[in-house]
Structure 1
Amino acid sequence: MAKTLFDKIWDAHVVSQKSGFPDVLYIDTHFIHEVTSPQAFEGLRKRNIPVFRPGQTKATADHNVPTINQHLPIKENLSRLQVEMLTKNCTEFGIDLYGLGHPFQGIVHVIGPELGLTLPGMTIVCGDSHTSTHGAFGCIAFGIGTSEVEEVLATQCLLQQKPPCMKIEVNGKLQKGVLSKDIILHIISKIGSAGGTGYFVEYAGDTIKNLSMEARMTICNMSIEMGARGGLIAPDETTITYIKDREFTPTGNKWTQLLDHINSLQSDNDAHYDKVLQFNAEDIAPMITYGTNPGMGTAISESIPDFSGIPEKEHYSFQKSLNYMGLEAGKSLSGKSIDYVFIGSCTNSRIEDLRLVAEFVKGKTKSEHVTAWIVPGSKQVMEQAIAEGLDSILASAGFELREPGCSACLAMNEDKIPPGKYCVSTSNRNFEGRQGPNSRTFLASPLTAAAAAISGKIVDVREFID
């Protein structure tokens, strides 16, 4: 029977299966951080249960960490307590922790791939919705709740209903200035923030195949924003080149075995998908969101939709979003003044993102009224940026390169956008107050964010490139 890539990986990890019940799914790698793990560890203590396979759980501190002066005690009480508890729990239960000051510290979905902990064919979970990022390597990777974190710690397995599978194909050549962030924002704008609800999505097509691994991670990362359970991309030579010789990538015979396994990780030609969508790359322009969910996006060259294009039952929520953002239906965002630019998060904080931004801003200076933060996704990304001289280029342009962490993506730390201020952000969510109480967020690609910082307003980056 023909199978999708998703079917092959899922079926290979089923420990037990019974009609009418969830599958018992084996988990290869479990990532944890300071926010969703404390209650799980406390549950183990109450039941006097050890971590079943501590070597298959890796921890880092990312959500609550400051991004300046990380060598000093954390100022916010809750943030400091959660980071301290992560250290205590990992020490007690024998789990590797890449905490503050460790050379491997960083955002969990950045360090997994860059360390070679994320490998094709794996099942990967974390108490974080954007675990889908790891699917770029041909993995089944998804976020779980705190009770499930405890379940994996105790058993290395999860009870899971197998979700249906959707295929999204993107074919054709991208326009100049269009990045993978624009691809995924375009898709979500067309199908809506609930258009993929319940599905696991496989991305395919020659446009996807021609993307770098870091660009593929951006697309899989935001699968969650269309309601999907996760996203994945079949591994290929690009994948193999990326994972080879990383810190924890297998070597010798195990590497050879992994290569053989990778060759089998493709969907069969006649495999059945529960839904198939197709997009043309030529139709995708630099994107920006205008509302309070990632589906409310448009090409920068176009206007905010008017009410004629919105179903009547959605008029109230549509107007509510525009009121929050201080915008009007039918108006263009081009030329809209902005206050902050945030380039970072598990969506766009890798070295490729920083290189693109540095190349763009070299010889330019940011607008005087804009505060521009660039927050690398890991200690390794930061060190690489410094080694390549990107820090000097960014500083000359007026951008502040900070230390690694989730930062202003979700404002659980000291990095918050002030009330009422507009931020062009490379993160993944633009919910009300996501970047700080009453802050206003425009989601965009690193290039569009950099162009906004230089201009002091929302602009079509293609104007600079042309």
Structure 2
Amino acid sequence: MTAKPQTLADKIWDAHRVASTAAGSDLIAIDRVFLHERTGASALKSMAAAGRPVRDSRRVFAVMDHIVDTRIGRGDQTLMQGGQAFITETRAAAHAAGITLFDVTDPDQGITHVISPELGIVLPGCTLVAPDSHTCTQGALGALAWGIGSSEAEHAMATGVLRLPRPKTMRVTFTGELPVGVTAKDMALALIAAHGAGGGAGHVVEFAGPAVEALEIEARMTLCNMATEFSAMAGLIAPDAKTYAYLAGRRYAPAAFDGAYWDNLRSDEGAVFDREIIVDAASLKPMVTWGTSPQHAIPIDAPVPQGPQRVHDYIGLAAGERLQGTKIDVAFLGSCTNARLSDLRRAAALIKGRKIAPGIRKALVVPGSGAVKRAAEAEGLDEIFRAAGFEWRESGCSLCFFAGGEAFPAGSRSISSTNRNFEGRQGPGIRTHIASPEVVVASAIAGVIADPRELAGEKA
């Protein structure tokens, strides 16, 4: 009898299903747990207080990334009041539990979802969880990776399994080729704008199609990173030759990926998804958010649409106004969405030989990891950014969210390569426009939200 065709998500789920419950949920084996200092100490301390050890310390990792200061020469001190306690308590709890810790000064420190792929901790076909909603980033390597709460992290560390209802499946197929100047960030924002921030709720989303296959691995991470902004449980992309070439030689990766399990990590022909969406990649343009949700995104040359009045009041833009040409105060290039080496290279290529506009209060570049920072410096990218007027920082989450400690006057307008733009995300009263690294640097140069394709045209 021929086996029923399966989706990639279903294959990984079934390979990790330990048992099913009478209530209809499944016990799923968890291959990796990743913690950070904002939630790690609480989970580990709670386990210790209950007398529950980590079941397999080799599968658990922790890093200082969310609250850690990103200024050069940093230590445990943070800009966030009380932030140092998160760091010192996580360090003590991680050492006591015997898990691997990438500490503040560790050469491999960085943002969770950047260093896990860099080190080969996440692998095709594995399950990985972390108390962070953007864990779905790591699905770009063909893993089933999703965000959980601290209590679920305790359970996963203590038992090696989690109880979950089986999610629905969705395939988002990007047909055609991306136009020049359009990126994976624009693909994600266009999808969310068209189908809503809740469009992926209850689903594992597989990104597929020729435009996705053409993306390099780091761009695939950007696309999967935004799956959580689509309300998906996880986003993933079938591994291919690019995936295995990317992972080759990384510290925690195996010497070879030649087993039957890895060879089968793709959706079967004829597999049925609960929902299918098709997007014409060739029709996309650089996208920028105009409101307080990633679904409030429009092509950079489009007028602001009519939305809830509260959103217009907060962001300070009326329907019919143009985003392009709107004055900005802050430019931020960083985060688990867009702070990898390829992101910095593309941004540096646009900004080389130019200066940020005089009205910019602050322009920051925060590499996604220590490894990214060292590689960028070896290529002289840091010098290009500094010469243009950007600050060059140590790795961490930084201005992606307010707990990173940076602060600006209420009403300041930020162009940011991050993933969230809700009210107060970057500080009380801050107006955040999320976009690609190219839009960020083009806007920093112009002093207003600007189209990077025009800047690239000047370079040609």
**Shorter-chain TM-score category?**
over 0.9
What is residue 233 of structure 1 aligned with on the other side? 237
1:368 aligns with 2:353: no
Paired residue type of 1:131: T
Name the count of aligned residue pairs: 452
TM-score (norm 2): 0.96
Match of 1:39 in 2: 42
Note the C-alpha offset of 1:292: 0.4
- SS of the residue aligned with 2:402? coil
Distance 1:56 1:419 in 2: 43
Kept in 1, the 8 Å contact 2:244–2:257? The answer is no
- Any stretches of 5+ residues in structure 1 without a counterpart? 307-314
Query: 1:365: Cα distance to partner?
Result: 0.9
Out of 148, 162, 167, the residue aligned to residue 171 of structure 2 is 167
Q: Residue in 1 aligned with 2:434? A: 443
Residues 114-167 of structure 1: per-residue CA shift (max 9 Å, x gap): 111111000000000000000001111000011101101111111111110011
Match of 2:19, as an amino acid?
S
**4+ residue stretches of structure 1 with deviation over 3 A?**
69-73
Letter in 2 for 1:270: G
Paired residues for 1:40-439 under 5 Å: 40-75=43-78, 76-251=80-255, 255-257=256-258, 260-306=260-306, 318-370=308-360, 371-439=362-430
Asked if residue 465 in structure 1 is aligned to residue 456 in structure 2, the reply is yes
User: Does residue 453 of structure 1 match 2:444?
Assistant: yes
SS at match of 1:167: strand
Correspondence for 2:13 among 10, 20, 27: 10
Distance 2:413 2:287 in 1: 16
**Separation (CA, whole Å) in 1 of partners of 2:81 and 2:357:** 35
Q: If the length of structure 1 is used for normalisation, what is the TM-score?
A: 0.95
- CA displacement at 1:411 relative to structure 2: 1.6
Conserved in 1, the CA contact under 8 Å of 2:69 and 2:75? no
Question: Following the alignment from structure 1 to structure 2, what is the Cα–Cα distance between the partners of residues 40 and 237?
Answer: 37
Q: 2:197·2:230 contact (CA, 8 Å) conserved in 1?
A: yes
**CA drift at 1:257:** 3.7
User: Which residue matches 1:312?
Assistant: none
| RMSD after superposition | 1.2
Check conservation: 2:7, 2:273, Cα contact below 8 A. yes
What do residues 402-454 of structure 1 show as CA deviations (whole Å, max 9, x unaligned)?
A: 11000000121222343210000000000100001111100000001110001
Could you tell me how far 1:368 is from its partner in structure 2?
1.2
Q: CA deviation at 1:42?
A: 2.5
1:79 and 1:413 in contact (8 A); partners too: no
Identity %: 41
**Corresponding position of 1:309:** none
Return the alpha-carbon distance in structure 2 between the equivalents of residues 394 and 77 of structure 1: 29
Q: Secondary structure at the match of 1:347?
A: coil
Flag the 1:70–1:33 CA change in 2: closer, same or farther, 3 A: farther
**CA distance in 1: counterparts of 2:374 and 2:32, whole angstroms:** 26
Give how far 1:73 is off.
3.9
Tell me the alpha carbon deviations over residues 386-414 of structure 1, each in whole angstroms, 9 at most, x when there is no partner.
11111111111111111100000012122
Q: Secondary structure at the match of 2:282?
A: helix
Counterpart-to-counterpart distance in 2, 1:403 and 1:250: 30
| Farther off after superposition, 417-426 or 321-330 | 417-426
Shift in Å, 1:80: 0.3
Distance 1:40 1:266 in 2: 34
Aligned equivalents of 1:117, 1:237: Cα separation in 2: 18
| Structure 2: unaligned runs, 5 residues or longer | none
Structure-to-structure mapping, 1:16-31, within 5 angstroms? 16-31=19-34
| AA of the residue aligned to 1:359 | A
Q: Secondary structure of 1:250's partner?
A: coil
